[in-house]
């Protein structure tokens, strides 16, 4: 995601420099992060650990696909473009993919085209595919202006209300509902949610489901190919990379504690799974949801029940185009206002499979869960 106050035309020419990010740059990039995000709650030491771990100690690190820093001559680093390589396969053949993360430029930088120069340098790299799923409007304008595109099939976000009265009360509270009104309305909202969840004809009725069954990295690695085989583009994990990814995702608790659960059919066979950040007093966010067309409703029913039983008002996630009908039948609300997925590739076939929704690209594969300032 890009954060910058002004991306207008250059006021005057300045000597600029874009070069690979190195470990010795970490303190300066942390200072930049502090300037761009002054309200961020993380300490400098926590940020230094984050940048080192994410950009130099990830299992896909490749010196040919570096993150980038921007400097005006003789001055401190005033721009940063994070790059995380990922291994993927396109119809069985390996491709080099990269995820963009932590794109930021100091608002005081003199060259107003610094963000564009960073983006152009990134696109000129040797990767086959570049993408991000944490983009805002500023990033989108730059990506599209330089030949990238917005992946609309992966730009839809769904929300399933579990406690509708409490959900809307929470939204009203965010808009300045008075304390006295909250005290009066909260018990009534809880009572309303109690009854709508137990009426069998209610769209918010919750039926008892099997207990959540956690799973290991080895289980996911064993079964993922069976579910991803229907997609032309899919991630290529091994045990060490997937273990690292799950460990890092579990440590990011901005949205809540990460929970994982297998879903089985009546015969005990695995028919899917889900990972979500449980927020027992708010909206739980799905990190990954895996199913087939025949099992998607079972997976969603189990997810919604356990999030509801744990106290969530709602569950939200990013749409997999294959399951749009199932989400609609499960009475989910749809929105196009969340973080966008942006894509760039010199290969037409890669662009086309993403634009038609033929890619296994969950939030786990992208930037969304890495973002320090939340989703």
Percentage of the chain modeled with pLDDT above 70: 89
**Residue 205 falls in which region: left (phi positive, over 0), alpha (psi -120 to 50) or beta:** beta
pLDDT of residue 197: 74
What's the whole-number mean pLDDT along residues 312-316? 96
pLDDT by residue (tens digit) across 131-140? 999 888 888 9
Taking the C-alpha atoms of 206, 333, 371 and 220 in order, what is their torsion angle to the nearest 10 degrees? 50
Look up residue 24 and give its DSSP letter: G
Q: What's the fold here for domain 157-162+206-337?
A: Aminopeptidase (3.40.630)
pLDDT by residue (tens digit) across 92-132? 999 999 999 999 999 887 677 899 999 999 999 999 999 99
CA dist 294 and 221 (Å) reads: 21
Q: How many CB atoms lie within 10 A of CB 358?
A: 17
pTM of the model: 0.88
pLDDT of residue 14: 38
What's the whole-number mean pLDDT along residues 293-321? 95
Instruction: For domain 16-153, give its CATH number from 3.40.630.30, 3.90.1150.10, 1.20.120.450, 3.20.20.120.
Output: 3.40.630.30
What's the whole-number mean pLDDT along residues 333-357? 93
pLDDT of residue 170: 75
Q: Which of 172, 209, 160 is nearest to 326 (CA)?
A: 160
Q: Where in the chain are the domains? A: 16-153, 157-162+206-337
Q: Give how far Cα 247 sits from Cα of 85, 242, 258, 260, Å.
A: 17, 8, 10, 12
pLDDT of residue 293: 92
Going by their DSSP bridges, the two strands 77-90 and 257-264 should be labelled as unpaired
pLDDT of residue 136: 86
pLDDT by residue (tens digit) across 234-259? 999 999 999 999 999 998 888 899 99
Q: Name the packing angle between helices 26-36 and 44-56 (round to 10°).
A: 120
CA dist 225 and 230 (Å) reads: 9
pLDDT of residue 174: 63
CA dist 350 and 59 (Å) reads: 24
């Amino acid at each position: 995601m890009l954060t910058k106050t002004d991306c207008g035309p250059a006021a005057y020419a300045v000597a600029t420099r874009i070069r690979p990010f190195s470990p010795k740059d970490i303190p300066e990039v942390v200072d930049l992060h502090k300037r761009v995000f002054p309200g961020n709650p993380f300490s400098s030491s926590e940020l230094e650990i984050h940048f080192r771990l994410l950009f130099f100690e990830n299992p896909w690190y490749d010196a040919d696909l570096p993150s980038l820093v921007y400097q005006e001559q003789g001055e401190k680093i005033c721009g940063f473009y994070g790059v995380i390589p990922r291994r993927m396969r396109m119809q069985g053949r390996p491709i080099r993919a990269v995820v963009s993360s932590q794109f930021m430029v100091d608002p005081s930088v003199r060259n107003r085209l610094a963000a564009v120069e960073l983006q152009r340098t990134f696109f000129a790299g040797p990767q086959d595919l570049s993408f991000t799923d944490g983009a805002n409007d500023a990033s989108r304008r730059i990506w599209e202006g330089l030949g990238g595109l917005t992946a609309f099939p992966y730009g839809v976000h769904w929300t399933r209300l579990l406690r509708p009265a409490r959900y809307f009360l929470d939204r009203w509270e965010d808009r300045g509902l008075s304390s006295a009104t909250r005290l009066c309305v909260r018990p009534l909202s809880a009572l309303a949610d109690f009854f709508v969840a137990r009426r069998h004809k209610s769209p918010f009725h919750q039926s008892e489901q099997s207990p959540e069954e956690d799973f290991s990295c080895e289980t996911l690695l064993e079964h993922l190919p069976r579910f991803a085989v229907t997609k032309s583009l899919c991630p290529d994990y091994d045990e060490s990379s997937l273990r690292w990814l799950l460990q890092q995702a579990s440590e990011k608790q901005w949205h809540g504690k990460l929970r994982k659960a297998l879903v089985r059919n009546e015969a005990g066979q695995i028919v899917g799974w889900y990972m979500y950040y449980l927020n027992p007093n708010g909206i739980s966010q799905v990190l990954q949801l895996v199913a087939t067309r025949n099992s998607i409703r079972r997976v969603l029913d189990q997810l919604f029940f356990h999030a509801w039983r744990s106290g969530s008002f709602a569950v939200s996630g990013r749409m997999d185009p294959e399951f749009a009908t199932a989400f609609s039948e499960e009475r989910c609300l749809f929105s196009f206002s969340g973080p966008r997925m942006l894509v760039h590739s010199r290969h037409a076939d890669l662009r086309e499979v993403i634009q038609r929704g033929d890619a296994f690209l969950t939030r786990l594969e992208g930037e969304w869960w890495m973002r320090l300032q939340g989703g």
